[in-house]
Amino acid sequence: MTSFTFATAGRISFGAGSRRELPGAVAGPGSRAFVCTGSDPTRHADLLAGLPDAATFAIRGEPTMDVVRAGAQAAREHGADVVVGLGGGAVLDAAKIIAALVTNGGDPLDYAEVIGAGRPLAVPCLPFVAVPTTAGTGSEVTANGVVTSTEHRVKVSLRSPSMLARVAIVDPELTLGCPPAVTAHAGLDALVQCIEPFVSPFANPLVDGFCREGIRRAASGLRRAYDDGSDLVARADVSLCSLLSGLALANGKLGAAHGIAGPLGGYIGAPHGAITASVMAAVCEFNLAHGDEHTRDRYAEVGELLTGNRDANALLDWWNETIAELGVEGLAALGLTEDGIEPVAEAAAKASSTKGNPVPVSPADFAAILRRSL
């Protein structure tokens, strides 16, 4: 018998121009907004003008423990009662974690999985409004925030149902300014986030539906959005793929590509999507070689959704062509050397995403996948 639970943002608003709903979305839960942005808040001057009592906090790069500590302190000093994340996945995750720390107190390491105490977030987080400006992570509808520990050289999550956004506003127009490399890395990550839950033994009929539509949208939009960043229809396809991928991963599980991304991202500091895109083919080959009939059938269906040809090799061919066309170069170009393979492989075998993989993956298997992806 099928059984599953489903949780998501309180409200999702998708569409060109939907960003204009931000002031109303913020006014619902609070009056003193703390807005996390990317490194250049002036990029969103028009939107910020609609939030006159807001404080802004710029997140540069993927967030570290120190950045979220400083953000929580600044939000408390502002007397924030609602937190907005207006930026890429890095900004959304930082904002979520800050919203959690303001009400729960303590240090991010008290709540972080794997390297921290993993304590539950006992107090509801501040209300969080998510406005993604990249199309890739689906973080606007996930219940976790990823943060880098520079000390441990690893990226880990804080997780809680109360980290889900009160409102998620997904406006594809906000992604029009993304440069090609960001479009490629984020978009490929969204696609991996639709493929991994689909082949996972934890898939369920609801997640399957999100994944199928997300994969179709990536097939139709990703290369076009990369070739012509001003193509709003293609941008909307990739934004929808991203949103669907977040719904899928938050209500299903990921797999070995994301098992690698946390430790390797912390180790070499490369963009998250560049890593998942680089290792996806080797993970797929490993799962096809060691997986059961159901796993092979699922990969064949992904091939069909991407190419019309029900064959896992069609998926691999499409993938290899697409990452070459989108300029994804492999792990060596991202900075992985032989010294890093064993520690990253050990950590990947313990990562929470690895539990969703259709086939158990040992540290030696991960080392082989990493070498194959260099």
Q: Which residues bind ligand NAD (CB under 6 A)?
A: 38-39, 62, 87-91, 93, 133-134, 136-137, 139, 142, 144-146, 155, 174-175, 177-178, 182, 185-186, 189, 272-273
Q: What minimum distance in Å lies between the beta carbon of 344 and ligand NAD?
A: 15
Closer residue to ligand NAD in complex, CB, 10/317? 10
Cβ-contact 162, 279 below 8 angstroms: no
Closer residue to ligand NAD in complex, CB, 25/184? 184
CA angle 314, 315, 319 (to 5 degrees): 115
Closer residue to ligand NAD in complex, CB, 93/301? 93
Closer residue to ligand NAD in complex, CB, 136/358? 136
Closer residue to ligand NAD in complex, CB, 35/174? 174
Q: Which long-range contacts (CB under 8 A, 24 or more apart) does 285-290 make?
A: 285/316, 285/372, 286/256, 286/359, 286/361, 286/365, 286/368, 286/369, 287/199, 287/255, 287/256, 287/357, 287/358, 287/359, 288/312, 290/359
Cβ-contact 354, 261 below 8 angstroms: no
Q: What minimum distance in Å lies between the beta carbon of 134 and ligand NAD?
A: 3
Q: What minimum distance in Å lies between the beta carbon of 262 and ligand NAD?
A: 8
Q: What minimum distance in Å lies between the beta carbon of 243 and ligand NAD?
A: 12
Greatest extent of the chain over all pairs of C-alpha atoms, in Å:
57
Q: Supply φ then ψ for residue 17, to 5 degrees.
A: 90, -5
Q: Is 53 exposed, middle or buried (0-12, 13-18, 19+ CB in 10 A)?
A: exposed
Cβ-contact 36, 86 below 8 angstroms: yes
Cβ-contact 53, 32 below 8 angstroms: yes
Give residue 249's region: left, alpha or beta (phi > 0; psi -120 to 50). Answer: alpha
Q: What minimum distance in Å lies between the beta carbon of 135 and ligand NAD?
A: 8
How far, in Å, CA of 109 to CA of 132, rounded? Answer: 26
Q: What minimum distance in Å lies between the beta carbon of 224 and ligand NAD?
A: 17
Closer residue to ligand NAD in complex, CB, 179/308? 179
Give the residue from 22, 33, 134 showing the smallest Cα distance to 87.
134
Q: What minimum distance in Å lies between the beta carbon of 245 and ligand NAD?
A: 8
> Which residue is closest to ligand NAD by CB?
88
Closer residue to ligand NAD in complex, CB, 31/150? 150
